[in-house]
Amino acid sequence: MVYLKNRGLEPEMEGDNLEPRAPMRRSGGGIFAKVIITILVVVIIAGLGYLVFTKYVGSDDIAQVSDNWQAVFLTNGQVYFGKVQRVTDETLVLNNIYYLQVVTKPLQQTQTGTANQQQAQQELTLIKLGNEIHGPADNMIINRDQILLTENLKKDSRVVEAINNYLKDQSTKK
């Protein structure tokens, strides 16, 4: 009888029983390694999915950078219309900014001219940022904790139409 040493085919020598042993198998280390690798692959894929989702879909309701006009509502009640240039964890940068201002126009003056007898009509007017007496630049860096919400404006909204009319008027003046 030929015996192969170190290959697991040696006969078991217990007493007079000379039956060959089954080949020796390694312990379950291969299965453990496969489970660990599978878990790592799943974690990596989930992490990449999260990064892609937050980059392209957005992780919250804050406006995203785009060429569309957007409304930014602040905690102090002010609303600014413009284009979002950049968004970070702390700030939002808004360019091409407009805001609404209430203008009171008298409807009719009485002959006595007293203020109590005058009727007035309130009108909302869209104002371009930068024409004020203090001459601000046409961009804002807004702390995100001061933003209540942002909205994308439709191309046919009254605000966008007013902005487009203002831009046409400005281009014809040049």
Distance CA 108, CA 173 (A): 33
88 in the same domain as 17: no
Distance CA 111, CA 128 (A): 37
Q: Which residue has the higher pLDDT, 15 or 92?
A: 92
Question: How many domains are contained in the chain?
Answer: 2
Domain boundary among the residues 34, 59, 84 is at: 59
- The pTM score is 0.57
161 in the same domain as 104: yes
Instruction: Indicate which CATH number applies to the domain containing 164.
Output: 2.30.30.100
Q: Is the pLDDT of residue 130 over 80?
A: yes
80 in the same domain as 48: no
**Enclosing domain of residue 33:** 1-59
pLDDT-derived band of residue 59, with 50, 70 and 90 as boundaries? very low
Answer yes or no: is 64 within a domain: no
50 in the same domain as 90: no
pLDDT digits (tens, 9 = 90+) for 100-127: 988 877 766 655 555 554 566 778 888 8
